[in-house]
Amino acid sequence: MQSSHEYAYTLPEELIAQSPPEKRTASRLLIVPPPGGALIDGQFSELATRLRPTDLLVVNETKVLPARLHGHKTGTGGKFELLLERLYGGSQALVQIRANKTPESGAELTTIGGARLKILGREGMFFVVACSDGSSFEALLYREGETPLPPYIERPGGRADDDRYQTVYAKHPGAVAAPTAGLHFDEALLAQLAAEGVKLARLTLHVGAGTFLPMKSDVLDEHEMHSEEIVVDEALVESVRDTRARGGRVVAVGTTVVRALESAAQGGELKPTRGLTRLFIRPGHRFQVVDTLITNFHLPRSTLIVLVSAFAGAQRIREAYAHAVDNRYRFFSYGDAMLLESRTPE
């Protein structure tokens, strides 16, 4: 049995990026060839030189909601912070709630703006809540919510984050965290890649707050994966099929794209898929779709560092992360990126 502690590493606090670079494409890019090839320090703006005209770039079109609310408990006045996990449609949502005392089913909350919420019950560590007047929970978020910056960004969110903690191709609201590998792209780079012949395909995976939760179990196989909603349509399936026919690579922009594509191919063939996935990609996973991966640097002992280790090999990822620390790369959501050029699982 593999230990989750094998995916721990030491990171100097000053390497955690607290704000984005002035320009989206100004980030660094660590190019990671298969084992045996030397690591290359590059710039994200040079990505076109590492991709091929036959490649298919797959992006996640999810859009980050203003998913954090503040207020007080109706009656007691105790303060709370609410973070969306998933919209249920209409007035209901699945959320995390932080408060001095855990609220019980039936309790009511009042947001800073005066909206009333009722706690309907629990689903594991999450709460099911509803707007007491039956109004739209999503509309409430857009009225009062804040951009939910990750917990390791130790500053309040600002107006600039409303734009920069969002990809330029974000389209479908539903995420509470950005698919951060996509934050490095701007319209000019996408146009350059298209001019070079690189095709673009799109899917949706709504990233949940569970993405920031560390693995609690020491045993990797005992970790209970959070669920996330995915949409993989027929147009994407056709694009992958065409890419294979012309000998091209499927290049995933971020771990969310990997998870969505591999979930949609669990039957052995990529198929249009809509629903929830709990797929935990770890060493031993047989990759069906993704050939190349663009990704940021992930938290120690997170399911995301396990995923990239399954993709490129745990030893190769350890080498890459050690190189990134030694060379002062910026880590996590607003940090730099890696290009894992081929899947070489151990």
Residues 9 and 101 placed together within one structural domain of the fold: no
Given a cut of 90, whether residue 35 has pLDDT beyond it is no
Phi–psi pair at 30, nearest 5 degrees: -90, 115
In a domain, 79, yes or no: yes
Residues 117 and 9 placed together within one structural domain of the fold: no
When the pLDDT of each residue in the chain is averaged and rounded to a whole number, the result is 94
pLDDT digits (tens, 9 = 90+) for 174-190: 999 999 999 999 999 99
Domain hosting residue 117, numbered range: 68-144
Average pLDDT over residues 264-277: 95
In a domain, 103, yes or no: yes
Given a cut of 60, whether residue 252 has pLDDT beyond it is yes
In a domain, 152, yes or no: no
pLDDT digits (tens, 9 = 90+) for 90-106: 999 999 999 999 899 99
Question: What's 204's domain CATH number?
Answer: 3.40.1780.10
Sheet with strand 273-277: strands edge to edge? 40-43, 28-32, 337-340, 292-296, 250-253, 56-60, 199-206, 228-232, 273-277
For the chain, how many structural domains are there in total?
A: 2
What is the pLDDT at residue 145? 95
Residues 26 and 174 placed together within one structural domain of the fold: yes
Residues 112 and 204 placed together within one structural domain of the fold: no
In a domain, 282, yes or no: yes
User: By percentage, how much of the chain surpasses pLDDT 70?
Assistant: 98
Residues 196 and 132 placed together within one structural domain of the fold: no
Given a cut of 70, whether residue 243 has pLDDT beyond it is yes
In a domain, 154, yes or no: no
Residues 138 and 174 placed together within one structural domain of the fold: no
Residues 130 and 223 placed together within one structural domain of the fold: no
In this structure, are residues 204 and 170 in contact, taking their beta carbons and an 8 Å threshold? no
In a domain, 149, yes or no: no
What is the pLDDT at residue 212? 66
Single residue among 90, 112, 144 that ends a domain in this structure: 144
Name residue, tokens 């105790």.
78
Q: Which two tokens stand for residue 30?
A: 């660590």
Residues 234 and 134 placed together within one structural domain of the fold: no
In a domain, 267, yes or no: yes
Question: What's 115's domain CATH number?
Answer: 2.40.10
Residues 303 and 218 placed together within one structural domain of the fold: yes
What is the pLDDT at residue 216? 76
Length of the chain: 346
In a domain, 289, yes or no: yes
Local confidence band at 75 (pLDDT 50, 70, 90 cut-offs): confident
Single residue among 111, 144, 177 that ends a domain in this structure: 144
Local confidence band at 267 (pLDDT 50, 70, 90 cut-offs): confident
pTM: 0.94
In 3D, which of 27, 63, 61 has the Cα closest to residue 232?
61
Single residue among 112, 144, 176 that ends a domain in this structure: 144
